[in-house]
Structure 1
Amino acid sequence: MGLVRDHQTIRPYDFQRPHQLSRGQLDAVTSITATFWRSAANFLSTYLRTPVQLQQLTVQQIPYEEMIAQIRVPAVLGLFQSDPLPGSALIECTPGIAVAMIDRALGGQGAGVEAARRLSEIEQTIVRRIFDRVLVIYGEIWKSLLELQPKLVTMEHNPAFAQIAGEGDLVLISKQQVTIDANRGQFMLVWPYMNIAPLAEAAVRAQLIRDGSLANVELKREDMQRHVESVSIQASVLLGKTELTLGEFDQLKVGDAIILKNRYDQPLTMRLSTQDKFLVLPGRVRGQLAVRVISRKGDE
């Protein structure tokens, strides 16, 4: 094994949290979400009739409890599902930005609030409509890779009431700084592993196709298959089984006959490594002991 000198290529792996995206998957998802946020900013600018600026802050995997700690209560949270993907995800914006969007949607000048507060039912209805439209864009962005049907399930003000993962699980967050008029806050998407993993795999595959690397991957797979097929494996034939007491075993001597549980006319079992795989019949070929496979074990 060669010595790795470029330590920057080494990425830590947390064996306590095996469900995490690879570097390639994370980069592919980052590229797709960047396109989504640009489209979302264009929609919001048109819908609110004012320039809306989004700037990426971070795309990273963090423990679920750490993500919860980053959200101040009361918050503006939308829990959504994307059939056919398993699990749910979150879309979040800071209350000040939510109030600014509400004010603009109602014809105002986009006044926000200095102190965070819970939204009223009417305000939640307006934000829900905006989130619904943003999720339509979300589905359209992923459409070329996977046919999704995003649907907002509920609005919450506390992440404790919108649980999408277990304590200790990793989640992927995509956080954007948003500026609407004089108001500044953030948007954030949060995915649990089970929800983002199929999207990440599809994004990587699409990237390989675009780069022309997929053919190389298939060739490597064929090479691996060829190497696997040439690997030697130990095969043995079990003549039969029986049980002996320690006393009987101690009294065994040359010439004793041991009665096995198998009948003489029954097939024998061929074992590959440690697994019973085939039923065989014994015989001879050119003066050597041999067996003929009659069926696969379990196909009787």
Structure 2
Amino acid sequence: MAALSSEVLSQNEIDALLAALSSGEMNAEEMKKDFTEKKVRLYDFKRALRFSKDQIRTLTRIHENYARLLTTYFSAQLRTLVRFTVASVDQLPYDEFIRSIPKMTILNVFEADPLEGRMVLEVNPNVGYAMLDRLLGGQGSSQSKFTGLTEIETMVLERVFRKSLRIYADAWKDAVPIDPVLTMTETNPQFMQIVSPNETVAVISFSTKIADTTGVINICLPHVVLEPVMVKLSAHYWLSSQKKTRDKKEMTVLQERVKKAHIPIIAELGTATISVGEFINLSSGDIIQLNTKKDSSMNIRIGTKYKFQGRPGTQGGKVAIQIDKVLDEGMEEDEQ
């Protein structure tokens, strides 16, 4: 039985297997053939997988964050119920992406410095018209047929999507700082050839709901554009950068709070030892001799620790002390 499985079988499983073989329900030769045959998996070279699973997961996290930012932004802009969620993150040839979108759609081509190359934000006409209708005072309804955009409609949508691309930079900042800029708006996918047809692209699809209208928004990111920063798309790198950013923010907050803290600073002219009787009989005009000379440095204490040494004087008509020396950390009062 060990030849059939690398797992350890229980006695009941062994008995059931022997019973099935003896009754003819299972054929020993066929079982042996199944284990000796080579497992073959088809591989389509036209759909070369250029993004690892780890990188796809990172892209998913980035765009889930972007979906939340878009929901907030468009809810304020359109003043209606808006919801964006990541529906899928896939990698496929660019030609297949072009064939998967409508023949007439809204294509926002943008660049993102320091990345070299162009990317696409594709907006389904249903979603685009619903946005236009809300921005122009309507209820957020869509049209059944899309024939193109007028100059005014193009200008209105370009203004909205320019601002949405600024938000895109916020979604990427923990992984790669980018500066997205809208370069053109197109409606016919056949006129938009940003990379070669066989180039692998990552396509992030957002399920979009505006009032009662639903549709899809796609972001197309060519592998050749993201290739210089692919190492930064690993989950380990991304999560470590997030931790560094979070730690830096926490340190900044802590420093600001420490700066506002009030602490007592005491400048000691010197010390002297007298009896209780002498202390009780002190009166105006009496002199107490200190253990320091008039030209010696004064110790400056922060709480119970001596931190500085300095000289007495005046500043602006007020008593002051000039710091001459910083003492070693941790010197207690009894060490002086």
- Change over 3 Å in CA distance of 1:200–1:41 after alignment to 2: farther
RMSD: 2.4
Native 8 Å contact 2:95 2:198 kept in 1: yes
Unaligned runs of 5+ in 2: 1-5, 7-39, 244-336
Q: Which residue of 1 aligns with 2:134?
A: 104
Corresponding residue SS for 2:206: strand
Question: CA offset at residue 89 of structure 1?
Answer: 0.3
CA distance in 1 between partners of 2:209 and 2:86 (Å) = 12
Q: Which residue of 2 aligns with 1:55?
A: 85
SS at the partner of 2:175? coil
> Where does the alignment leave 5 or more consecutive residues of structure 1 unmatched?
213-300
Deviation at 1:104? 0.7
SS at match of 2:183: strand
**What is residue 209 of structure 1 aligned with on the other side?**
240
CA-to-aligned-CA distance 1:233-287 (integer Å, 9 cap, x gap): xxxxxxxxxxxxxxxxxxxxxxxxxxxxxxxxxxxxxxxxxxxxxxxxxxxxxxx
1:21-100 aligned within 5 A? 21-100=51-130
TM-score normalised by length of structure 1:
0.63
Offset at residue 147 of structure 1 (A):
2.3
What residue is the counterpart of 2:316 in the other structure? none
Specify whether residues 189 and 11 from structure 1 end up closer, same or farther in structure 2 by C-alpha distance, changes over 3 A only: farther
- For residues 214 and 66 of structure 2, what CA distance do their matches in structure 1 show? 20
**Hey, what does 1:139 align to over in structure 2?**
169
Q: Which one has the largest radius of gyration?
A: 2
Tell me if the contact between 1:102 and 1:126 (Cα under 8 Å) persists in the aligned partners.
yes
**How far apart are residue 160 of structure 1 and its match?**
2.1
Task: State the one-letter code of the partner of 1:129.
Answer: R
Shift of 1:197: 3.1
Give the AA of the match of 2:146: A
Distance 1:74 1:15 in 2: 29
Rounded Cα–Cα distance in structure 2 between residues aligned with 1:144 and 1:11 = 37
Equivalences for residues 101-180 of structure 1 within 5 A: 101-180=131-210
Give the aligned residue type for 2:94. Y
Amino acid at match of 1:54: F
SS for the counterpart of 2:76 is: helix
Q: Return the letter of the residue paired with 2:240.
A: I
Task: Report the alpha carbon displacement of residue 122 of structure 1 after superposing the two structures with TM.
Answer: 0.7
Partner of 1:239: none
Contact 2:108–2:186 (CA under 8 A) maintained in structure 1: yes
AA of the residue aligned to 1:209: S
TM-score norm. by structure 2 comes to 0.56
Conservation of the 8 A alpha-carbon contact between 1:94 and 1:185: yes
Contact 1:56–1:175 (CA<8 Å) still a contact in 2?
yes
Q: How much does 1:164 deviate?
A: 1.8
Partner of 2:212: 182
Change (3 A) 1:88 1:19: farther
What secondary structure sits across from 1:168 in the alignment?
coil
SS in structure 1 at match of 2:108: strand
* Percent of residue pairs identical: 31
Deviation for aligned residue 1:203: 3.0
Q: What's the counterpart of residue 197 of structure 1?
A: 227
Q: How many residue pairs are counted as aligned between the two chains?
A: 204
Instruction: Say whether the 8 Å CA contact 2:174–2:241 is kept in structure 1.
Output: no
Of residues 163-172 and 194-203 in structure 1, the stretch that sits farther from structure 2 once superposed is: 194-203
* Residue deviations 1:127-184 (CA, integer Å, cap 9, x gap): 1111101100011221233221110000000122221221211110000111111111
